Structure 1
Amino acid sequence: MKNSASLLSNWAGALLLGVASLATAPAHAQQATGSSLGDQENLRLLSGGNVSTAIVTVDKRYEGVRGTPFLLPIWAVGDILLTSNKRVTAVPLKFDVYNQQLMARRPQGDSIWIDLRNIQEFTLNDPRAVSGQAGLHRFARFKNLPDQAGRVDFLEVLHDAGPYALLKRSGKSLLKASYQQAYSADRPYDELVDATDYYLRSPEGTFTTVKPTTKSLVAAIPPVLQESLRAELKKTPVRTETDLVNAVSQLNKLAAVSK
């Protein structure tokens, strides 16, 4: 069994490297081919003696992709709770939020992708966090979010100490390069930028999309709690993620009193 596990792990690592190589090959090939053909055509036109002929130009300003698909750009030690209820502790992890994939680094130094279907939840402990910042990120498995029927997502649990839970979906979107037209943004690169969604889970298990504003949160709760929460939030309006976490904490206190 030990040899089989070793062979499987080696195969998975090799597959990962192979996929990574295949994923990057087309882009490099296309860039090299385009530049080479353009340069050859320029030389052909010049060597023909007809200098007045228009020279074929190749736009070489494209700078590739900026940003990272990972939640954290570094390895973060975390724990994994499997669907079998077994817990794997102190594993170096990276969470690819662009593709919703989890990568683990093995003791021998190579990396493998972990099948998220076998995971209930996992944590990432950001070693860069300073005092006052949330260094521990806990992700749990959720299904049937708004407009995503049947889809499973791993959301960060920001607050769940009560009947209402605040969840965060950390994602990335690809902002395409814009530099070839007259009124372009002069951005010769693609960029992966943060795309964040927040969800309020009710005591009944339904999900409502919310934003870090007082109006959005109040609209997501039952009318019986709206006036009380609105009055509380007049003192501390919701403008940031931290404000939203504190507001949901206050909501849970009000919900407990109203029972």
Structure 2
Amino acid sequence: MNFRHFALLGLLFTTGLAHAQQDAAAQTNLNALAAGAPAVVPRGTADGFKGSPYADARWLPAQITLTNNLPLAPVPLKYDVLEHRLLMRAPARPTDSLQLDDTRVVRFVLNEPATALGPARQRVFRRFAEAPTANHKQDYVEVLHQGRYTLLKHYLKTLKKANYQGAYNTDSHYDEIEDKTVYYLLTPEAQLVPLKLALKPLQGAALALAAALKASADAKKPKTDADWAAVLDAADPATVK
């Protein structure tokens, strides 16, 4: 075996060791974010809850970014909008939901698998730094599109308590979680415009894109968030850095 082979083996060993150390550090950093105690989550059962507290009720693999950019191992994640918290499922405790200490979390990316309704995609969530009210600045918003304009989805949930006074009200024995989602378009001038996700409101908020939005919407016939994101992607492509 010549020197070149020895050098190659040494490089492979060093690279493998570095990756193993990085993986171990990532898992250690992730474990440090877990509060440890299982989180109590509502379930849609009789005399329980109607609706979901989550942005997405599925456990989806996620990459988390911290303020200090420390590596974190991928983890199954849920965003509990109602309680303003991130929940994880650790491999060692697959039946428990653990609450993350997310004070240093700036963003997370959910990896959504392909389904019959669409291809696999990554869904980016970040802090709502531009929120019109201070109490929402620590919320997470989903970034549906980012180019010159940014389309944001702010998930809001409210809890409507059961009303036991109406004897003939069949829904009286349920607490109901209601969706209050708001969409915003962030303009190049840093103006945050609340809007309904439809063609005319988008054109009104982004006059420079009005013609391109119509052409894209006519071609794609958008119905879902992903459809509207594709419309904006076509009308307002991301700037190449």
**For the superposition of Structure 1 and Structure 2, which TM-score range results when normalised by the shorter chain?**
0.5 to 0.7
Deviation at 1:168, TM superposition (A): 1.2
Aligned residue number for residue 202 of structure 1: 187
* Contact persistence 1:214–1:233 (CA under 8 A): no
The change in CA–CA distance for 1:111 and 1:209 in structure 2 (over 3 A counts) is same
Aligned residue number for residue 72 of structure 1: 56
Aligned residue number for residue 18 of structure 2: none
Q: State the distance in 2 between where 1:9 and 1:120 align.
A: 16
Residue type at the aligned position of 1:235: D
Deviation at 1:171, TM superposition (A): 3.0
TM-score (norm 2): 0.67
The change in CA–CA distance for 1:76 and 1:150 in structure 2 (over 3 A counts) is closer
Secondary structure of 1:144's match?
A: coil
Correspondences of 1:1-259 after superposition (within 5 Å):
12-14=35-37, 16=38, 20=40, 63-109=47-93, 111-127=97-113, 129-130=115-116, 132-133=118-119, 135-148=121-134, 151-160=137-146, 162-178=147-163, 180-181=165-166, 184=169, 186-222=171-207, 224-226=208-210, 228-229=211-212, 231-232=214-215, 235=218, 239-252=223-236
Consecutive unaligned residues of structure 2, counting only runs of 5 or more, are 1-27
* Contact persistence 1:179–1:186 (CA under 8 A): no
* Contact persistence 1:77–1:93 (CA under 8 A): yes
Q: State the distance in 2 between where 1:231 and 1:74 align.
A: 34
Q: State the distance in 2 between where 1:129 and 1:234 align.
A: 23
How many equivalent pairs are there? Answer: 206
Q: State the distance in 2 between where 1:147 and 1:83 align.
A: 22
Deviation at 1:230, TM superposition (A): 6.3
Identity, in percent, stands at: 34
The change in CA–CA distance for 1:115 and 1:10 in structure 2 (over 3 A counts) is closer
Residues 79-114 of structure 1 show CA distances to partners (whole Å, capped at 9, x for unaligned) of 111111123132122211112211223342154322
Deviation at 1:72, TM superposition (A): 3.0
Deviation at 1:206, TM superposition (A): 2.8
Residues 19-41 of structure 1 show CA distances to partners (whole Å, capped at 9, x for unaligned) of x4xx99xxxxxxxxxxxxxxxxx
Aligned residue number for residue 15 of structure 2: none
Secondary structure of 1:87's match?
A: coil
Deviation at 1:68, TM superposition (A): 3.0
Bigger Cα Rg:
1
Q: State the distance in 1 between where 2:215 and 2:113 align.
A: 35
Q: State the distance in 2 between where 1:126 and 1:231 align.
A: 28
